[in-house]
Amino acid sequence: MHPVICGTMRSAYLLLFILVFNLSPSKGKINDTLKIYSYSQLKEKFYDYVGNDKISNANVISKYYLQKAKNEKNTTEITEGYVLRHFNLDLQNALKYIDSISIYKKNLDQKIYPARIYLLRGNLYLRHDNLKLAFENYMLGLKYAKEKNNERQIAIANISVAYLNNYIGKHAEAAKILRFYLYHGNYFNEAEQGRIHYNLADTYIEINKMDSAKTLIQEGVQAALKNKNSYKYNQYLFLDGFYNLKLNKYDIAIEKLLKCKEFFAKNENDLNISYTLLNLGKAYDGLKNKDKAAENFIAIDSIEQKSNNTFPELRDIYTYLIDYYKEKNNKEKQLYYIERFLKVDKLLDSQFKYISRELPRRYDTPQLLKEKENIINDLQNRKKILYISISILFIGLLVLLYLYKKSKNSEKRHREIAQKLIHSIEEKNNAFTEPEPNVVITEISDKKIPFNQIESKSKSIPEDVVQFILKGLENFETKQQFLKKGITLSSLAKTLKTNSAYLSDVINTYKEKNFASYLNDLRINYALTRLVHDKKFRSYKLSVISEELGYNNEQAFSIAFKKKTGTTLSIYIKEVEKSHNQN
């Protein structure tokens, strides 16, 4: 029985970030003359062709771009030309172009350089299967990006490390980084976001988050169809095949992967063809079709010998073929694939051990220490906030305690005032008796002065007029006409058959208050007495009581009552009830 091939690690290779800023894909074919395009338009076209795997068109643009920049002696654009030219070249020639950038770096944006050079080298070494140097350059790029606080470059370095995590099987860690930058990646253009999207879908399949993977695959297929991007469409079609393979739906997987195989076979240097053949072989193995499985795995070995692109799953491919030919008793083939296995295993083991050792030590540990520092700072800030909150709460409690005590003291004082008023009224017990003849009420306390004891205090009003007005006021008070609503100085003067000026002068002189206070005192005095003696009146709603006393609304009555008596109406009524219950 042959072993089943383990999961793919191709995410480490598929998303190679291009450190070019403010790009957006463009459409259309290369114009016969490129002179009409600006540098930014040429770059847009270049990356559009790279994204659609139209390498020859991209090479034409990169050559023209660099030559144009050199002719114009434009230092900035010369370095951009070197960046464009290094793509799709062999390692040594590509390195020459990247190293040429260093000549001009003093004249370039210091926030971007030298981190950009190291990140470009990291991508280049990764594409050429040298993970050790890729990792070294990513770490240097990350170091300089952090020094310059370049968030985009920091993000690129972090994502590059995510691919290396995929390489050593730490898919969950890779997914965490990819997921973060997919949904918080304001540093990336649309094409770069698309690559993160694709690789996250692939990583989700690796960690069996199948629902999440399916959602991303469907989104990717729809976007590729909308943009008429056949390369992207086949990439997501491949993921769909991989997805069905994971679910053991081998027939569906084979159907989709065969379509991808036809598309990707055009470029053997593209790792997509190797991974397509890998999953086809696994699907056929799942259907117990060992010959078909071996056929696809043999094709992978043939591609690997030409491209020298190794990947971890090669070990499983060779062990499968060794067992396959062992069953067929083909010792020559068996020996051949043993030798192939030993050669690839040595290289993979060297890279795996290095990345497995260095990545946690030089990337994970510093990240964790930084995270630890952030957590400690966060906890310290939370403690400060907690202490401040406790202090505010304590002060608030003191204020509430003070207000509560003040309220209780105020309530006690109001009760004492109410009790004195009630006691005073009960002692007199003459609230509704007719006043003695020739007596005028001059105060709310019912202090009465006989007419024969009144001396004229007004020099401007004849004495007989004063006596006439006082007699009228006595009648006004006795008949409780002050309870009528809408009484004014003018209306009362008219009722008393005098003028407003005389009436106002007499009230100010003999009652020692203005008309409004005089009227209000009569009403409050009446309320105090009636509330003591009339149980039914006490049961009325405040609105009814205020209406009977001649006030326009209950609020005006409540304010007037407290202002005059020093206590509230509710406390006064409660004390009246308590007094009656005790009696």
Please spell the DSSP secondary structure of 149-189, one letter per residue.
T-HHHHHHHHHHHHHHHHHTT-HHHHHHHHHHHHHH-TTS-
Print burial letters for 22-49: b (CB count within 10 Å at least 16), e (below 16): ebebbeeebeeebeebebeebbbbbbbb
pTM value is: 0.57
Which helix (H) or strand (E) segment is 239 a member of? Answer: helix 230-246
Mean pLDDT by 10 residues, the chain (583 residues): 38 41 36 77 82 75 89 88 86 88 79 89 85 89 90 89 84 90 83 89 93 94 91 93 95 94 77 90 95 93 82 86 91 90 83 72 62 69 86 89 87 86 76 40 42 52 87 90 89 89 89 90 90 87 88 88 88 85 72
At residue 203, the pLDDT reads 93
Q: Is 312 helix (H, G, I), strand (E, B) or coil?
A: coil
State the burial class of residue 559 (Cβ atoms within 10 Å of its Cβ: 0-12, 13-18, 19+).
Answer: exposed
Amino acid sitting at position 543: S
First to last CA, the chain: 107
| Token couple for 503 | 């009436």
CA distances to 377, 385, 404, 405, 534 from 391, in Å:
21, 10, 19, 21, 52
Q: Is 409 helix (H, G, I), strand (E, B) or coil?
A: helix
Other C-beta atoms lying within 10 Å of the C-beta of residue 339:
11
CA–CA distance, 333 with 315 (Å, rounded to integer): 16
CA–CA distance, 302 with 294 (Å, rounded to integer): 12
CA–CA distance, 219 with 295 (Å, rounded to integer): 33
Phi, psi for 448 (deg, rounded to 5): -115, 140
Q: Which of 247, 256, 251, 276 is nearest to 264 (CA)?
A: 276
CA–CA distance, 87 with 102 (Å, rounded to integer): 17
Q: What is the DSSP letter of 111?
A: T
CA–CA distance, 379 with 372 (Å, rounded to integer): 10
